[in-house]
Amino acid sequence: MSVVNYGTREITCKIVYYGPGRSGKTTNLQHVYSQLPEERKGKMVSLATDTDRTLFFDFLPLDLGTISGFATRFQLYTVPGQVYYAATRKLVLQGVDGVVFVADSQSRQLAENIESLQDLHANLAEEGLDPRTLPLVMQYNKRDLPAGEISPIEELDETLNFRDVPYFSAIAVNGGGVFETLRSVASLVLSRLSAPAVGES
């Protein structure tokens, strides 16, 4: 995991949007992409395939320009939520700096949320990353659905957010909560920039 490169004066942060299938991960990236000014609009890459042998994810590079002398880039990824794309999720998680867990607020999707969160922890551990300390933000999406179909925020948070990390309600389909979530995870990732330097000295 390389976040800051003093040699080339670059800061690169890899943020992965994780969560069950159809929870709104790609919608988050699509909204970010839609808000980019033309001069910063690179290519949002979406790869789809039927088999796990081929990559299947979304990738949105965010070139933020030079900030305080450092060329700063955020790389936003989504993982395929479907259970059978396990190998791809592991691949995308390699070198991750921060995770947004996009939960589907629908009550009937609670089991899928839990399963995906457990899958995230298992894959992070396999990558040698500590699921208890990696920058993580929870997003409870689809809050625009009828109240009878979605779980209360408090219930979702009680069930999923045992680390007590920042959480946001969202309606990603119209952009609600998307940038708030991104800002929060970016802040958590950046707050760790100084930590290695202190420890290594």
- Residue whose C-alpha is closest to residue 173's, from 139, 151, 143: 143
What are the beta bridge partners of residue 102?
A: 139
Verify binding: residue 201, another protein, rule CB under 8 A: yes
Verify binding: residue 149, another protein, rule CB under 8 A: no
Verify binding: residue 171, another protein, rule CB under 8 A: yes
What single DSSP character describes residue 176?
B
Write down the least CB distance from residue 1 to another protein, Å: 16
Site for another protein in 16-35 (CB under 8 A): 31-32, 34-35
Verify binding: residue 72, another protein, rule CB under 8 A: yes
Distance CA 107, CA 117 (A): 16
Conformational region of residue 114, where left means phi above 0, alpha means psi within -120 to 50, and beta covers everything else: alpha
Write down the least CB distance from residue 33 to another protein, Å: 10
141 burial type by CB count under 10 A (0-12 exposed, 13-18 middle, 19+ buried):
buried
Verify binding: residue 163, another protein, rule CB under 8 A: no
Residues that bind another protein (CB under 8 A): 4, 6, 11, 31-32, 34-37, 40, 64, 67-70, 72, 140, 143, 153, 157, 166-171, 174-180, 182-183, 186-187, 190-191, 193-194, 197, 201
